[in-house]
Homo-oligomer: A and B are copies of this chain.
Amino acid sequence: MSETIRLAVIGGDGIGPEVVAEGLKVLDAVLVGTDVSVEKTDVELGADHWLKTGEVLADETLERLRGFDAILFGAVGAAPGDARVPSGLIERDLLLKLRFSLDQYVNLRPSLLPAGVASPLADPGEVDFVVVREGTEGPYAGNGGVLRAGTEAEIATEVSVNTAFGVRRVVRYAFEQAAARPRRKLTWIHKTNVLVHAGRLWKRVVEEVAADYPQVTVDYLHIDAATIFMVTDPARFDVIVTDNLFGDIITDLAGAVAGGIGLAASGNINPDRTAPSMFEPVHGSAPDIAGQGIADPTAAILSVAIMLETLGQPEAGARVRAAVAADLSTRGAERRGTTAVGDAIAGAVAARAQ
């Protein structure tokens, strides 16, 4: 029985296409000799595409993307100084619109410091946790507005929208993750002492879902305290669940702690499979180093591993992870280029085949 993964590839802007190319190279290598094949379709989107065509994300493009099994996403966003691209336009109307429209309510962001990788901020082996970040509501809902814009009487609001439905499904997913891991520990993060309405809803739902997982230990941290623990004691974390904004903050910090943001991979997952999931490095388009062939493709390659795991190919995913870990443990002070890293990992994956 053979299987074909129909994959949409959105390289995007800056270093996005460069790192995605290495992810695809490793994907091809890991599938050699398996009964799984991949059918790739490039989809042009991002700031450059918008400047060329005026399209941020057309309805037809969104419909077309729904037809794929998965999306591999590089990075989007113009250079900070580029006045032609309104700030946040591409992030919101493309990236966030994809996450919301495709109901990717789990933003899965694992942090693992493999043996041999030096981090000034943590001992190797100390970091092994996964953040389950809510992806479709909270402060990212896009609610809010402005009155008397541009005047001295201006008022601007941002509304965080939290529903029992939305919180429950992501919390349940996090408990499933925790139950399947050796330490079986779940930490939920919020700011319940200040944001009481959302905080009470999160607390109730966590407690209700916890009743179905007596084997999972649950604890709670305010977001401010969580950032301290992230740098002083990352080993205390196993599975973290939190809202969209707190998750954004804690995963960037986690990236810095776990070997740098160049290693941080993620999946925007629709666990109900009503639409494709999307896999992307946590880093941005880094316009300052684009086109130089020096971007680290590791996060994109690890995003491919998450993709394989999500699509029911855990062995292929594990082979990618093992090849990345082996490569990381040999990295010295010398900097290899983007292609060299991709070649090395693809080679290691191939050597591990069958």
Contacts and interface: CB of A to CB of B under 8 A. Distances in A.
Contact of A144 (B145, B160, B193): B160
Contacts of A257: 231
A180 interface: no
- Name, among A87, A150, A151, A168, the residue most crowded by chain B CB atoms within 10 Å (CB to CB): A87
Contact of A158 (B145, B159, B225): B159
Interface string A242-271: 000100110111011100010000000000
A227 B227 contact: yes
Copy number in the complex reads 2
A158 B255 contact: no
Nearest to A203: B87
Given A156-B197, A161-B157, A197-B157, A150 B204 contact: yes
Interface string A200-244: 110110000000000000000001110110011000000000000
A200 B195 CA distance: 23
A157 B194 contact: no
B231 A253 contact: yes
A310 interface: no
A198 B162 contact: no
Contacts of A1: none
Contact of A153 (B144, B153, B164, B252): B164
A245 B246 CA distance: 10
Interface residues of A, number: 60
A139 interface: yes
- Name, among A161, A163, A224, the residue most crowded by chain B CB atoms within 10 Å (CB to CB): A224
A83 interface: no
Given A144-B198, A164-B154, A193 B92 contact: yes
A148 to B, nearest CB: 8
Closest 5 CB pairs of A and B: A88-B193, A224-B252, A154-B164, A156-B197, A156-B201
Given A152-B164, A225-B252, 15 more contacts: A87-B192, A87-B193, A87-B203, A88-B196, A144-B159, A149-B200, A154-B163, A155-B163, A156-B163, A157-B160, A157-B161, A158-B160, A191-B248, A224-B252, A231-B256
Interface of A: 87-88, 91-92, 96, 121, 139-140, 143-146, 149-165, 168, 191-201, 203-204, 223-225, 227-228, 231-232, 245, 248-249, 251-253, 255-257, 261
14 contacts: A88-B194, A144-B159, A144-B197, A144-B198, A151-B164, A152-B165, A154-B164, A154-B201, A157-B162, A157-B198, A159-B160, A191-B245, A223-B248, A249-B249
